[in-house]
């Protein structure tokens, strides 16, 4: 799949109960979705060989990248997530969620991430890191209103200054 085709499919108007499905697709070139409004999608097991950027993007519905592989960065900094962000099983070098406003769950269960930036984030639901393997985790200045779950997670280093957890939490 080309980045142009992906962009066209994802920017069709959002409709409740409908979604774009491209399970297992490969995107060879860098995919840039910065500043767009995206409909619901299922890109589970998709491969992004040159990274994926969706900075300051609005995700209207379900956003599934379960088991996806992203070479280089998956950059969603400044995004607004109107529903759950399902990244369980994600494999990537660096996941950037800096400044995200998440109105649903951020699910990273079983993910393998070199560096996770979840700083200055507001998550109205919970963040789940169950069984995840994370190199460095920056969660400074974030407000996780639904709590954070990290049972079985392996995290090498954590920066958590200014973190506010309203629900269930773990000690880092």
* pLDDT at residue 172 tops 80: no
pLDDT digits (tens, 9 = 90+) for 63-78: 999 999 999 999 999 9
pTM of this structure = 0.95
pLDDT digits (tens, 9 = 90+) for 98-157: 999 999 999 999 999 999 999 999 999 999 999 999 999 999 999 999 999 999 999 999
Report which DSSP code applies to 164. Answer: E
User: What is the rounded average pLDDT of the residues 32-37?
Assistant: 98
User: What is the rounded average pLDDT of the residues 162-172?
Assistant: 82
Per-residue model confidence (pLDDT) at position 14: 86
Q: How far is CA 165 from the centre of its chain?
A: 19
Identify the CA nearest to 98 among candidates 126, 139, 52. 139
Q: How far is CA 139 from the centre of its chain?
A: 14
pLDDT digits (tens, 9 = 90+) for 39-50: 999 999 999 999
């Amino acid at each position: 799949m080309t980045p142009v085709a992906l962009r066209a499919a994802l920017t069709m108007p959002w409709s409740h109960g409908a979604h774009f499905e491209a399970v297992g697709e490969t995107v060879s070139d860098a995919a840039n979705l910065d500043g767009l409004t995206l409909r619901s999608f299922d890109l589970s097991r998709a491969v992004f060989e040159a990274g994926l950027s969706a900075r300051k993007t609005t995700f209207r519905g379900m956003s599934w990248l379960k088991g996806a592989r992203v070479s280089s960065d998956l950059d969603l900094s400044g995004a607004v997530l109107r529903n759950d962000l399902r990244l369980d099983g994600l494999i990537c070098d660096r996941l950037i969620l800096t400044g995200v406003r998440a109105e649903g769950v951020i699910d990273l269960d079983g993910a393998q991430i070199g560096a996770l930036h979840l700083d200055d984030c507001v998550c109205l639901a919970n963040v789940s890191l169950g069984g995840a393997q994370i190199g460095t985790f920056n969660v400074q200045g974030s407000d996780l209103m639904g709590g954070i779950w990290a049972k079985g997670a392996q995290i090498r280093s954590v920066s958590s200054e200014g973190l506010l957890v309203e629900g269930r939490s773990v000690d880092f």
